[in-house]
Each structure stands twice: as structure tokens, then as C-alpha cells.
Amino acid sequence: MDKRFQEQTIVVTGGGYGIGKAIALAFGREGGNVVLAARSKDKLHAVASQLEAMGTRPMVFPTDVSREEEVREMVVGTLARYEKIDVLVNNSGIAGPTAIARDVPAEDWNETIAINLSGAFYCAKHVSAAMIARGSGNIVNISSIAGRIGYALRTPYAASKWGMIGLSHSLAAELGPFGIRVNAVLPGSTQGDRLDRVMAARAAKEGKAFEEVRNWYVKDIPMQRMVSEEEVAETVLFLASDAASGMTGQAVSVCGGFCMR
């Protein structure tokens, strides 16, 4: 049986853990050669070892996506090895501070926007040039359900994720004539260490027990559970595949129905 991404080149930023790791491994299982780009070098090598065991040819490229020159070097290095980039998944991101907006230091705001939003812009800017030259490509931006709602105590994060949706829509309009599709995936509450840390920070800020905060995150989800990292990854693969050939400029929620509230 043919694999959906056999010998395609897929760049996944933030691919060392969590949703990014799940996305990288999902592409690997479908035959893709995954370029792992993030700051967490040791974690990237661990994921690369798993990808090699699948018979693919991964590449680790330590990259701070908030620095445009490092992004440019990552893209140049990827093209030097694989000669093409078929898919870009902009997943790098940080949670940012848990605080009311008036208490957020400027440096925390700037760091969150720089990594979550500017990093995605830099990657799309440099990767799209190679995609335009080939007349094809896919960009999937990992936003968040926080890009559709107001999110008290998480203003920098929410603002960056709203920005990711606008970035996706604008890039889809610009790049569509060149055969390049751009979509966004909006995970809701997703099981994993990262959300556990976010909930712990909120519990500490509000003086509540961890389980009380966790129940707050789940109570308005119609499916009455959090989604898994693998469920998010499968949506990314669908949007990057030929099965979604008619889709661009879309913001697809993977949230257990929370977005209906």
C-alpha cells in the first residue's frame, strides 16, 4: 500500500515533543522525510532516531524560529539535502505568561509573539519561495482554539494564535495562484505535559486545586474529554494530503466540539 507522503520533505518546527512530535512521527509513518527544527536539540535527536527506525531520512536542524537568519539557514540547509520542501508545519510555540494583561512584562509579550507568530511568518516567507519555484506545496499553521475565543490570563498567547489565523488566510490568498495551499489547525485542550503545566500555572494563579482547573477545561467540551496529540496530527496530515486538495484558507478546529459554545 502506497504511503501518502513517500519521499516528500516535511519541515516540522517544534518537533521535539508534544503535538510537534506526534506530527513528525505521523509523517514518518507515511513515508515522509522530516526536518525537525527547534531549539531543543536533544529532544529533536530522540525523535529523529524514531524516524530513522521507520526507514525514513530525517534531519535535525537546531533553529530559533524567532530569528529570521536562523530560519533562512534552516531552509537553505534543507534544500541542499533534499532539493525541495513539500510541506511546512509551523508548530513552534510557547505558552507565554499566565497573568492579567496589565501585569504582563513587555519582554514576555514580545517573546510570545516572536516565537508563536513571527517565527511562523519567517518560516512561511522563506519556505514559500522554494514552493513557488516548484509550483506546489502545503503550509499548515498550528494555531489554537484560543485563536477563536477570549482567553483571560493568557492574552499574549491568545493574541499570537488569533494572528496565526490571519496569517494563514492572507498567505492562502497570496500563494493560491502558485499551487500552494495554506491552512490552520486549531487544537483545543490537548492531553500532554504542556497543558498540564498551563493548568498548574492557572491553578497557582487562581489559588485553586489542579483538578478543579482541569475540570474547568473539560466541562464545556461536548465530547467530555480532551483531544489527543495524535488526533491533532492526523488532521494536519489530512490537510497536507491530496485528500484536501480543494481546501485552503481554512481554520480547522480539533477541540471535541468546544468551539460550538
d(Cα 23, Cα 252) in Å, to the nearest integer?
A: 16
Across the range 242-252, mean pLDDT stands at 97
Mean pLDDT on 52-79: 97
Range(s) of the domain holding residue 237: 9-190+228-256
Q: What is the pLDDT of residue 190?
A: 84
- For residue 203, is it within any domain? no
Whether 171 maps to a domain, the answer reads yes
Q: How many domains does the chain have?
A: 1
Predicted pLDDT of residue 133: 96
Q: Is residue 3 part of a domain?
A: no
140 falls within a domain: yes
Q: Which has the higher per-residue pLDDT, 222 or 143? A: 143
> If you average pLDDT over every residue of the chain, what do you get?
94
- Asked whether residue 217 is assigned to any structural domain, the reply reads no
pLDDT tier for residue 261 given thresholds of 50, 70 and 90: low
**Residues 94, 100, 101, 102, Cα dihedral to 10°:** -140
Q: What is the pLDDT of residues 106-158, one digit of tens each?
A: 999 999 999 999 999 999 999 999 999 999 999 999 999 999 998 899 999 99
The percentage of residues in the chain with a pLDDT greater than 90, rounded to a whole number, is 79
Is 13:119 a contact under the CB 8 Å cutoff? yes
Please indicate, yes or no, whether the overall pTM of this predicted structure exceeds 0.95. Answer: no
- 200 in a structural domain: no
Query: How many H-runs (helices) and E-runs (strands) does the chain carry?
Result: 9, 7
The residue from 17, 82, 122, 157 that is catalytic is 157
- The model's confidence at residue 259, banded by pLDDT at 50, 70 and 90, is confident
Q: Is the pLDDT of residue 260 over 80?
A: no
The CATH number covering residue 22 comes to 3.40.50.720
Helix axes 68-82, 119-134, angle to 10 degrees: 30
**Using the 8-state DSSP alphabet, how is residue 245 labeled?**
T
Q: Is residue 174 part of a domain?
A: yes
pLDDT range class, residue 213, cuts 50, 70, 90: confident
Assigned domain for 202 exists: no
Is 157 marked active-site? yes
Local structure of 75: helix, strand or coil: helix
Between CA 8 and CA 91 the distance in angstroms is 18
pLDDT given at position 191:
85
